[in-house]
């Protein structure tokens, strides 16, 4: 489990903030969705907030839905504010009790246009954005669960993380698993149960075609929002990204 209090560049937090700003129509086109919910631009999505996810629903139809970020297993006593299971490690996700049932049948994709990590510098922790060079959306591997004990069901999710690639390794040792478009179908299909095939998808992304650069310190507070957060930080020019 991951301590909720550790969000700003802490080594225990692997993917603790990300961007999700495209409209529902673009996500519908990219992920071949049959149903979509409303989508609002998010430039600093944080744990415990609702984020958008793609999952396979009835009759193979893919849907875009809001899920609370921080997995609550169906068998648990319920949400525990002391912990936030925002990330699941690729090496153990198929076997750990908190994740293994979701890994078998409740996999999802988390659309994103970029995610943040923090570089340690002599003057403090510098937030950096990692995104595709063409700024196009991509899909992070996720799992979802439904928890309920009377009342309205709580639907939650987690993002799977793996070893960092060569681009991200100087900043952090972990990164989200990026699922490639050709693998969307296999990942989302709840009837696809080949564990070896699924775990083979949980590898670091090829760094080719990706960029990493320093952004504003305003990212440090999840209360800050807006497109200015993903722009290069002019104060960091001349410093290594």
108, 117, 128, 157: the catalytic one is 117
Residue 206 lies in a domain: yes
- Sites in the chain below the pLDDT cut of 50: 1-12, 238-241
pLDDT at 152: 86
Residue 83, domain CATH: 3.90.1680.10
Residue 134 lies in a domain: yes
Q: Is 128 a catalytic residue?
A: no
The contacts of residue 178 (CB under 8 Å, 6+ apart) are: 138, 139, 140, 141, 205
pLDDT at 8: 34
Residue numbers of the domain that contains 151: 18-236
Angle, CA of 57, 87 and 165, to the nearest 5°: 105
15, 108, 128, 157: the catalytic one is 15
CA distances to 60, 87, 123 from 93, rounded to whole Å, are 24, 10, 36
- Positive or negative, the Cα torsion across 72, 77, 79, 84? negative
| Burial label, 14 (beta-carbon count in 10 A; 0-12, 13-18, 19+) | buried
Residue 3 lies in a domain: no
Q: What is the 8-class DSSP label of residue 221?
A: S
Q: Is 117 a catalytic residue?
A: yes
Domain count, the chain: 1
Centre a 10 Å sphere on the Cβ of residue 148 and count the other Cβ atoms it contains: 12
Residue 9 lies in a domain: no
Q: What is the pLDDT of residues 11-22, one digit of tens each?
A: 345 679 999 999
Residue 162 lies in a domain: yes
- Rounded to 5 degrees, φ, ψ at 161 are -125, 155
Residue 2 lies in a domain: no
pLDDT at 172: 95
């Amino acid at each position: 489990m991951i301590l909720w209090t550790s969000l700003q560049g802490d080594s225990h937090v692997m993917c603790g903030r990300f961007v999700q700003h495209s409209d529902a129509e673009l996500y519908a086109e990219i992920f071949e969705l049959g149903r979509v919910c409303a989508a609002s631009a998010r430039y600093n999505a944080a744990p415990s907030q609702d984020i958008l996810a793609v999952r396979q629903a009835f009759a193979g139809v893919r849907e875009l839905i809001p899920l609370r970020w921080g997995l609550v297993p169906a068998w648990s006593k319920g949400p525990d504010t002391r912990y936030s299971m925002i990330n699941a490690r690729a090496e153990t996700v198929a076997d750990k009790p908190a994740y293994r049932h979701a890994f078998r049948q409740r996999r999802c994709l988390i659309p994103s246009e970029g995610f943040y990590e923090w570089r340690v510098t002599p003057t403090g922790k510098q937030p950096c954005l990692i995104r595709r060079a063409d700024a196009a959306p991509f899909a992070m591997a996720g799992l979802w669960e439904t928890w309920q004990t009377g009342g309205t069901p709580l639907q939650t999710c987690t993002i799977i993380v793996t070893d960092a690639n060569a681009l991200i390794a100087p900043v952090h040792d972990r990164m989200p698993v990026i699922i490639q478009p050709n693998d969307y179908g296999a990942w989302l299909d709840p009837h696809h149960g080949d564990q070896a095939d699924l775990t083979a998808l949980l590898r670091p992304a090829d760094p080719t075609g990706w960029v990493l650069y320093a952004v504003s310190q305003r990212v440090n507070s999840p209360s800050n929002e807006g497109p200015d957060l993903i722009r290069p930080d002019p104060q960091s020019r001349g410093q290594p990204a």
